[in-house]
Structure formats: C-alpha cells, structure tokens
C-alpha cells in the first residue's frame, strides 16, 4: 500500500493525545499510522507531582503538524488531556477527534464540540462506522493540506524560539525565506487552522525589520553613490589637470627650443661684444627650473588623487557586488570593475592599485556558481559530511537517526537505518570498504561499503559523540559523554580475525569431540603449532608416559 503520509523529504508529524486508560487503543493507532507512512508521537511517561510536564508535552505539541485526540469518557474528564487540547488550539494545530468508545454522557472539551468526530467503534447513529472505516477516514483527513500544515508547524517553532529568546531581530525571517512564507500565508487552505497570534506577530515583525533593513541599505547605497560621484568628479578634474600639464610641458619645450636659439644668438652677440645677455639667460634658466618643479608637483598630486579615487571606487564596487545577493553573475561583473585588469584596453584599469575587497567579492561569486547539487532527503539537521577516500562516494549523518550514502554527484545510494537516536558522525574506513557511525543511542555501528550492517559496538553508558578508524583500519576509537573513550578491534581482513581467534581460544577440540561433530579426528596443524590443549607438550608427554606404564 502506498504511504499516504510520506512526502519528499519528510513525513507528517502526528501527536496523539489520550487518557492512560486508552493506552492499548493509542498503541494500535501508532502502529497503523506508522504503517500508513505518518510519523506519530505519543507520550508514554506518567505525570508526577513535581514534574514540569507542561514543558515536555508543550514541546511535543509544538513540533507536531497535527493533533489526533483519542476521545473517551476518561479523556473527556482528564485535566491533562484538557490542557493538551488548549495548548494545541493555542498553537493553531488542526485537531482531529477520534472516538474509541462511547462517551457515556460525558461532555467533550469546548474546543472539540464543534468538530466532526471519527468513530472507531460501531455507532448506530453513524452507519458503517468501525475500526476499519474509522482508519480510512482518519488517513483521508491527515492527508489533506500536508505541505501547508508542515510549514505551519515550522513557522510556529521559529516564532516560539524567537519569543522565548526575547524577540531578537536576528531571529526574524528575511530575504527569500520571508517572501516564501508571505506566499504561503496567501495560499491558506479553506479548512486549515488560522495563523496564531504569535505567528502573525512574528511575520509582521519580520516584514517590518526587512523594510527597515532595505531602507537602511538603500540609504547607505545612495550615500555611497553620492560620495562616489564626488570622487568621480575629482577624478575627472585630476585627469583634466594632467592634460593641462601635458600641454604646459609642450609649451615649455617650445620655449626651451626658443631659448636655445636665443642662446646661440647670444653667443654670437657675445662674440660681437654684447655684454649683459649672460645674466638675463641665467635668470630665464632659473625661472624655467621653478616652472618645471611646480609642474612636477602638480603632476604628482594629480596622480595621488587619481589613485585615491580608484581605491574608493574599488570599495564601492565591492559593496555593489555584496548588494547583488544571490545574483552571482552581476556580483562578479561589479567586482571585476573594481580590480586591476592587466588585459583591459583602459590604462586606468591596467595600472590601478590592487585592493583585496573586490577580489574577495569576485571569489565569493565564483564559489556561488560552483554549487553542483543539493543533497536532500534527511528530515533532521545534518551533523557531518565526508567523502570516501577515492572521492567516489559521500556520507552524511543526521538528527533523523540515519546516515545516508550518496554517489559523488549527490544521487542517493543507501540509507543506513538502525540507530534509535541522532547520528552525530559517520566516516569511511581508510580503504573505503566499511562505514562507521556514532549515535546518541549510546552505540557505534559498523557497516559495509554499501550500507549493510556488520556489527554494533555497545558498551558506553552515555551518548556516543564520535567514532574513528585507526590509520590502518584495524582498530576503532569511540568517544562518549559517559566520560570515557573506548578502543575496539575492527579486523578489516577476515584472516586477521581468524589468526586473532586462534591465538585467544584456550584449547582445541579433542579427537573424540571432533568425531562427534563430524570433523576429521586429526587436529588442525595450528593446534599443534600453538600447543593448544590437549595438544600442548605437557599433555602429550603425560599421555605418552601413561601409555608406557600401561604396557
């Protein structure tokens, strides 16, 4: 039968509220819901006087996508069950009441009175009712609006965490995640539960914070644009000053040629006896030196201003690249504009000073374009990832109590199931032939390269946080919250295990035992070589002496 509650990525979480006297029925409900592909949660702990049970049950209800209430005379009269109904309503959960037996005059809780009941026993006022038809109707109800309910649960969890932590701004929704929830809110199904007050407050706060953040970002970019425009103006003025200085240098060159011609004429006049021209020539030379020095100073100042303007522009291009967000192409093009490009046809771009910031922005844009695949399938947080030694496989460990095996392109190969709590780490052996996982269920597990179980390493009394192979793959080391680490033999080669057990067994089978077990009476050679009883030297000598005495 296809799994009604299974969807891509996860299953619908169903919290079962019940009275202790209806535990047998609740257990049957858990079994059939698991068979139908749902993820039922049931609290089997008793309520003790000093226990803060509201916190424990409230967390289970918060994490559930839907609540199934087992309605009976006992649950209708139970204060704890009444509290669970109130908490589910406060959290905006869809509540499905199922009748396991007649109410016998008892009144259900106020939140349940207007709901449609599903009968799991033959009821004369409900023709055709019974366990089978009740199960069919329950599966149909649980299969409606699954995706919307799952997002409702996640939003309530995010809002509850935000509220419990004092409503900090950094835990509000933002960007694409906020946009996705706004679209989700607009697609509210007709029979789905309404958003809770906390959810509405959380979304409103997220929208307000996003608007403030966008306004501040626009203001900052506008200010940077204005500053950049001023620097660009200064850059243009500096460029114009350089051009004017070039023209001035040309004019001075013409003046020097004229002076040189004048010097030749002066020499001729000097020869002719004209006095005083030499002094005038010296004054002209001194003046020319002053003009040249001033021109060089202005040129150096203009070049300094140009470099400063280029550095400022590089920082501005970096901020523009960051503001491009997920648009890696635009971010890369803006970052290139802020970097020295030796192949550019612009001299300013070829000779500009190198700045680290746009280089980091360009590299970040390149990394965003390198994403090859998203490995989706786990239903809880992913705690560790690792490549196999040959790089052909990927191993992930998750809070959903599984590890998963993928090929190098991210396609799923196997799910390693068996742990009963979070899997905190998963590693390959040095030869890639085995897999080792560590779990909060106080065990580590050994698997073959295809994910088939080989052994369970049990002995720790606390959660196992990590497990590793030795470099030769022959031993395993585990770490636990029981304040110990443990060393285990891994025996990567079968022969190693055989040799180890030969050395450790205290004795071999006697010839009589071998015959009774349908083995050849002659012992294996290794029993003689290792001198295992009854083939050790002392025992053989005693037998020989006994045989001589009898003769």
**Long-range contacts: 348-357, Cβ < 8 Å, 24+?**
348/306, 348/310, 352/307, 352/310, 352/314, 353/307, 353/310, 353/311, 353/314, 355/311, 355/314, 355/315, 355/318, 357/314, 357/315, 357/318
To the nearest whole percent, how much of the chain has pLDDT over 90? Answer: 31
Residues 475 and 329 in one domain: no
Q: In this predicted structure, what is the pLDDT of residue 66?
A: 92
pLDDT band at 53 (very low <50, low <70, confident <90, very high): confident
Residue 510 pLDDT more than 50? yes
Average pLDDT in the 27-55 region?
82
List the domain range (segments joined by +) for residue 159.
6-164
Q: Is residue 174 part of a domain?
A: no
Residues 482 and 521 in one domain: no
pLDDT band at 507 (very low <50, low <70, confident <90, very high): very high
Q: Which residue has the higher pLDDT, 526 or 329?
A: 526
pLDDT band at 320 (very low <50, low <70, confident <90, very high): confident
CATH number at residue 87: 3.40.50.10140
For residues 464 and 444, is the Cβ–Cβ distance under 8 A?
Answer: yes
Q: In this predicted structure, what is the pLDDT of residue 272?
A: 55
pLDDT band at 10 (very low <50, low <70, confident <90, very high): low
Residues 539 and 514 in one domain: yes
Q: Is residue 138 part of a domain?
A: yes
Q: Which of 97, 130, 164 is the last residue of a domain?
A: 164
Residues 472 and 523 in one domain: no
Rounded Cα distance, 178 and 189, in Å: 19
Q: Which of 120, 139, 164 is the last residue of a domain?
A: 164
pLDDT band at 431 (very low <50, low <70, confident <90, very high): very high
Q: In this predicted structure, what is the pLDDT of residue 240?
A: 79
For the ranges 100-109, 188-197, 398-407, the lowest mean pLDDT is seen at 188-197
Residue 466 pLDDT more than 90? yes
Q: Which residue has the tokens 């460029």?
A: 239
Q: Which residue has the higher pLDDT, 307 or 520?
A: 520
To the nearest whole percent, how much of the chain has pLDDT over 70? Answer: 90
For the ranges 140-144, 383-387, 469-473, the lowest mean pLDDT is seen at 140-144
Residues 422 and 445 in one domain: yes
Residues 445 and 463 in one domain: yes
**DSSP strand pairing (403-407 vs 39-42):** unpaired
Listed ranges 41-45, 125-129, 394-398; the one with the highest mean pLDDT: 394-398
Residues 388 and 428 in one domain: yes
For residues 61 and 67, is the Cβ–Cβ distance under 8 A?
Answer: yes
Q: Which residue has the higher pLDDT, 279 or 136?
A: 136
Residue 548 pLDDT more than 60? no
Q: Is residue 350 part of a domain?
A: yes
Side-chain-side CA neighbours of residue 112 (13 Å) = 28
The SS3 call for residue 16 is strand
Q: In this predicted structure, what is the pLDDT of residue 488?
A: 92
Residue 103 pLDDT more than 90? no
- Number of domains the chain contains: 4
Contacts of 316 (CB under 8 A, 6+ apart): 224, 225, 227, 228, 338
Q: In this predicted structure, what is the pLDDT of residue 551?
A: 41
The overall average pLDDT reported for the chain is: 83
Average pLDDT in the 337-342 region?
83
Residues 445 and 535 in one domain: no
Q: In this predicted structure, what is the pLDDT of residue 4?
A: 47
Residue 547 pLDDT more than 60? no
Residues 311 and 240 in one domain: yes
Q: In this predicted structure, what is the pLDDT of residue 2?
A: 34
Listed ranges 212-226, 234-248, 291-305, 439-453; the one with the highest mean pLDDT: 439-453
Residue 436 pLDDT more than 90? yes
| Closest C-alpha to 262, from 290, 281, 285 | 281
pLDDT per position as a tens digit, 185-234: 887 787 778 888 998 898 899 888 888 887 887 788 778 778 777 877 87
Residues 242 and 353 in one domain: yes
For residues 148 and 183, is the Cβ–Cβ distance under 8 A?
Answer: no
Q: Which residue has the tokens 């002659």?
A: 522
Residues 83 and 159 in one domain: yes
* Percent helix, strand and coil across the chain, each to the nearest 5: 50, 15, 30
Is this model's pTM higher than 0.75 or not? no
Cα Dmax for the chain = 157
Q: Is residue 209 part of a domain?
A: no
In this structure, the dihedral spanned by the alpha carbons of residues 532, 536, 539 and 540, taken in order and rounded to 10 degrees, is 120
Query: What DSSP element (H or E) covers 286?
Result: helix 277-323
Residue 7 pLDDT more than 60? no
Rounded Cα distance, 24 and 101, in Å: 12
Q: Which of 164, 187, 206 is the last residue of a domain?
A: 164
Q: Is residue 191 part of a domain?
A: no
CATH number at residue 485: 2.130.10.10
Q: Which residue has the higher pLDDT, 185 or 546?
A: 185
The SS3 call for residue 32 is helix
Q: Which residue has the tokens 């032939």?
A: 433
Residues 18 and 34 in one domain: yes
The DSSP line for 478-535 is EEETTS-EEEEE--SSHHHHHHHHHHH-SB---HHHHHHTT--SSPPHHHHHTT-BTS
Q: Is residue 377 part of a domain?
A: no
Q: In this predicted structure, what is the pLDDT of residue 360?
A: 83
Q: Is residue 97 part of a domain?
A: yes
Side-chain-side CA neighbours of residue 266 (13 Å) = 14
pLDDT band at 49 (very low <50, low <70, confident <90, very high): low
């Amino acid at each position: 039968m296809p799994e009604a509650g299974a969807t891509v990525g996860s299953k619908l979480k169903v919290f079962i509220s019940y009275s202790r006297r209806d535990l047998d029925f609740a257990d049957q409900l858990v079994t059939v819901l698991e068979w139908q592909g749902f993820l039922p949660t049931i609290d089997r702990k008793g309520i003790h006087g000093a226990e803060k049970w509201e916190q424990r049950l409230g967390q289970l209800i918060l994490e559930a996508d839907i609540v199934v209430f087992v309605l009976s005379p006992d649950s209708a009269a139970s204060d704890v069950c009444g509290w669970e109904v109130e908490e589910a309503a406060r959290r905006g959960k869809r509540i499905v009441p199922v009748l396991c037996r007649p109410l016998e005059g008892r009144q259900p809780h106020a939140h349940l009175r207007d709901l449609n009941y599903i009968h799991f026993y033959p009821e004369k006022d409900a023709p055709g009712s019974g366990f089978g038809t009740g199960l069919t109707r329950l599966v149909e109800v649980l299969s409606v609006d699954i995706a919307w309910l799952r997002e409702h649960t996640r939003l309530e969890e995010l809002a509850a965490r935000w509220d419990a932590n004092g409503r900090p701004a950094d835990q509000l929704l933002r960007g694409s995640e906020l946009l996705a929830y706004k679209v989700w809110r607009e697609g509210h199904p007709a029979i789905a539960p309404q958003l809770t007050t906390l959810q509405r407050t959380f979304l409103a706060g997220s929208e307000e914070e996003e608007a403030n953040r966008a306004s501040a970002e626009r203001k900052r970019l506008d200010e940077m644009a204005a500053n950049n425009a001023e620097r660009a103006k200064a850059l243009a003025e500096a460029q114009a000053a350089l051009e004017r200085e070039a023209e001035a240098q040309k004019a001075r060159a013409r003046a020097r040629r004229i002076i040189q011609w004048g010097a030749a004429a002066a020499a001729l006049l000097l020869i002719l006896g004209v006095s005083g021209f030499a002094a005038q020539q010296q004054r002209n030379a001194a003046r020319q030196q002053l003009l040249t020095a001033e021109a060089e100073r202005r040129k150096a100042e203009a070049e300094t201003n140009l470099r400063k303007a280029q550095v400022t522009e590089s920082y501005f291009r970096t901020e523009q690249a960051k503001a491009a967000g997920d648009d890696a192409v635009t971010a890369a093009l803006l970052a290139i504009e802020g970097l020295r490009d030796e192949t550019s046809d612009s001299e300013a771009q070829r000779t500009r000073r190198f700045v680290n910031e746009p280089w980091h922005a360009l590299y970040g844009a390149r990394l965003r374009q390198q994403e090859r695949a998203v490995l989706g399938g786990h239903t809880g947080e992913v705690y560790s990832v690792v490549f196999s030694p040959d790089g052909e496989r990927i191993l992930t460990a998750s809070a959903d109590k599984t590890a998963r095996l993928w090929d190098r392109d991210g396609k799923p190969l196997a799910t390693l199931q068996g742990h009963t709590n979070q899997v905190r780490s998963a590693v390959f052996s040095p030869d890639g032939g085995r897999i080792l996982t560590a779990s909060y269920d106080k065990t580590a597990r050994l698997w073959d390269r295809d994910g088939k179980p080989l052994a369970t390493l049990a002995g720790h009394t606390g959660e196992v946080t990590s497990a590793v192979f030795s470099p030769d793959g022959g031993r395993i080391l585990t770490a636990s919250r029981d304040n110990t680490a443990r060393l285990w033999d891994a025996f990567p080669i079968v022969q190693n295990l055989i040799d180890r057990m030969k050395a450790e067994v205290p004795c071999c089978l006697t010839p009589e035992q071998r015959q009774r077990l349908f083995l050849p009476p002659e012992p294996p050679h290794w029993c003689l070589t290792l001198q295992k009883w009854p083939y050790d030297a002392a025992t053989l000598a005693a037998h020989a002496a006994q045989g001589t005495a009898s003769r």
